[in-house]
Structure 1
Amino acid sequence: MAPDVSSVEVIEREPEFEKLVAPQAAPRKYQIVYRNILTFGYAHLTALYGFYLACTEATWSTIIFSYILFALAAIGITAGAHRLWTHRAYKAKLPLQIILVVLNSLAFQNTAIDWVRDHRLHHRYSDTDADPHNATRGFFYSHVGWLLVRKHEEVKRRGKFIDMSDIYANPVLRFQKKYAIPFIGTICFVLPTIIPMYFFGESLKTAWCIAVLRYVLNLHIAFLVNSAAHLWGNKPYDRTIKPVQSLPVSFVAFGEGFHNYHHVFPWDYRTAELGNNYLNLTTIFIDFFAKIGWAYDLKSVTDDMIQSRAERTGDGTNMWGFGDKKNVENKFE
């Protein structure tokens, strides 16, 4: 009997690409995306005006409400798009996934599907031309410049072969992708504008500008993980890579700044070592839902493995950036 070929999925084999060794950035010609320049320009000008209004006209209720949204949107990226869907560092039941996709929409950094593809590509080809926000090109490019120009050809070529089968099989993420404009637009901009107007008596102008201010702040906090956390800090686990431990980034990004650790152990749901939870609010969030059974199969790294890797390839500092770095150079010769 002949096989049912209609049920067989045809998967294009990944070609043998030239190996890219970080840090790597070949000369390139930038193609500016003027639409993105205009939208980012409008958003930042509006955010500046929103900051002025926050200091002069907005009610404290609106400011507190906006900060709560700021924190929730950050969790939508850190606990959702990053730790759950990109790295599969833990599993989440349907109610938690729905919560996370709503919070992820509040952050609006494209759809979660787009975010996951870019981030998996980032980890596979970190700090090379196949990395969407290649930090080898400097702070501005890795922070926001990569969104203002066309994608590098290596990003487009190699991005086609990133395994996304688990993501496309997820109905929650497919829903967000299918209804991206009305769903994300309503959660990220419409409701954060209407609620202060209805409940706190804000004008449309003030409510809208502060909603945009909150959104822009969320963007820049996330962008710092791509930029500052690849440029300035210590490297207690692998001194040969660009990602670093950045306490300031961890403070503002809910624990995502322990980046040297994260790039060495990307499957750890904490993205950091045990003992730093007072800077790692995302881990506290996941632990809470683990206690009520909505998050499960949390992956982590043993203390012995962490210590062994630090002694073998680290720069001699600990996770906080302290330690005796004496003779570290000789250790790797």
Structure 2
Amino acid sequence: MQGPAADGDRGPARSARELSGAGLGGRGRRPDARGQRSTIVWRNVVLMSLLHLGALYSLLLIPQAQPLTLLWAYFCFLVTALGVTAGAHRLWSHRSYKAKLPLRIFLAAANSMAFQNDIFEWSRDHRVHHKYSETDADPHNARRGFFFSHIGWLFVRKHRDVIEKGRKLDVTDLLADPVVQFQRKYYKISVVLMCFVLPTVVPWCIWGETLWNSYFLASILRYTISLNVTWLVNSAAHMYGNRPYDKCISPRQNPLVTLGAIGEGFHNYHHTFPFDYSASEFGLNFNPTTWFIDFMCWLGLATDRKRATKSMIEARKARTGDGST
């Protein structure tokens, strides 16, 4: 799963061939001629350092804040998470279910609140991650260590293999979705409004919280926590846990990541059956994203949920699993 890129590509949609590689080697992200040295992107280092310092300062403001402000910050965290898990990940990256226009609009807005690259860029990079997991073509290759797979991959230019393999992906489905293209076109202003302005203004206008507390708690702290929870799927869920479905791959089942990432920590299952809309064998258990998608189906806003069958799961466990449950 992805994180924000301060130098992502933007602009109007072009052909599938042009856009499939756009941004993968954007300004400040090209590897050197040999593709070996990791050139530091100092702008990202500075911005992420300032963001995390701001989040640490935000902790000091919690005792001063009104309870409603803390509840609002948590609500924004949940919306942020759904924009990534139910939206960019399960819907647009894997096409594991279908969503009608009102739901796609909501998920696109929630994805802008997440500020982890636009849907097109997030989904394209995630497809590269799945197809070339734990290789140099993986944007956050866990074989390069915990720090790199967690946040370090944002601090260096992308490996040339990420760029080359990414250009070969089929992204025509993303190009054909007007919601994806609209969000991409207006991504910067949507991020300002959804990630920073809306979370800050609501507590100030409705229940009289100070702008200072609102900004640091509902925007900065919430945003920083949501980023790190997402990054744990790239790092911890690729290093710690069991592998009941496929012991030959790195991704693992990690209960703590599951709790923080609202259902995305069943990672050995997900990489074994990436088409499954629940990203887990266990359906609704510890999986708020699945609850949300099922509720949207009940409302008639989502359809065609894809699932791995029980026989398929058991056969895969017997063939490649590590024997754990």
Establish whether residue 127 from structure 1 lines up as the match of residue 134 from structure 2.
yes
Establish whether residue 179 from structure 1 lines up as the match of residue 180 from structure 2.
no
One-letter amino acid of the structure 2 residue matched with residue 283 of structure 1? T
Is the 2:16–2:175 contact (alpha carbons within 8 Å) kept by the matching residues of 1?
A: no
**Deviation readout 1:75-124 (Å, 9 max, x if unpaired):** 11000000000000000000110111111111110111110011000000
Q: CA deviation at 1:68?
A: 0.6
1:136 paired residue number: 143
Q: CA deviation at 1:242?
A: 0.3
Q: Could you list the runs of 4 or more consecutive aligned residues of structure 1 that deviate by over 3 angstroms after TM superposition? A: 9-12
2:114 paired residue number: 107
Establish whether residue 223 from structure 1 lines up as the match of residue 231 from structure 2.
yes
Structure 1 spans left out of the alignment, 5+ residues: 1-8, 15-25, 319-333
1:30 paired residue number: 38
Cα separation, partners in 2 of 1:10 and 1:239, compared to 1, 3 Å: closer
- Describe how 1:1-333 pairs up with structure 2 within 5 A: 28-54=36-62, 56-210=63-217, 211-275=219-283, 277-318=284-325
Give the Cα separation in 2 of the matches to 1:159 and 1:278: 34
Give the Cα separation in 2 of the matches to 1:29 and 1:53: 41
1:327 paired residue number: none
Q: CA deviation at 1:27?
A: 9.1
Give the Cα separation in 2 of the matches to 1:167 and 1:155: 19
Is the 2:51–2:224 contact (alpha carbons within 8 Å) kept by the matching residues of 1?
A: yes
Higher relative contact order (CA 8 A, sep 6+): 2
Structure with the greater alpha carbon radius of gyration: 1
- Measured on the aligned residues, the alpha-carbon RMSD in Å equals 1.7
Q: TM-score, normalised by structure 2?
A: 0.88
Cα separation, partners in 2 of 1:103 and 1:10, compared to 1, 3 Å: closer
Give the Cα separation in 2 of the matches to 1:28 and 1:83: 32
Is the 2:17–2:167 contact (alpha carbons within 8 Å) kept by the matching residues of 1?
A: no
Give the Cα separation in 2 of the matches to 1:263 and 1:123: 7
Q: CA deviation at 1:274?
A: 2.9
Is the 2:16–2:170 contact (alpha carbons within 8 Å) kept by the matching residues of 1?
A: no
Give the Cα separation in 1 of the matches to 2:266 and 2:290: 12
One-letter amino acid of the structure 1 residue matched with residue 228 of structure 2? H
One-letter amino acid of the structure 2 residue matched with residue 269 of structure 1? Y
Give the Cα separation in 1 of the matches to 2:153 and 2:162: 11
Give the Cα separation in 2 of the matches to 1:226 and 1:173: 24
Give the Cα separation in 1 of the matches to 2:189 and 2:152: 27
One-letter amino acid of the structure 2 residue matched with residue 302 of structure 1? T
Give the Cα separation in 2 of the matches to 1:10 and 1:249: 34
Number of residues paired by the alignment?
296
Give the Cα separation in 2 of the matches to 1:51 and 1:279: 27
Give the Cα separation in 2 of the matches to 1:274 and 1:227: 23
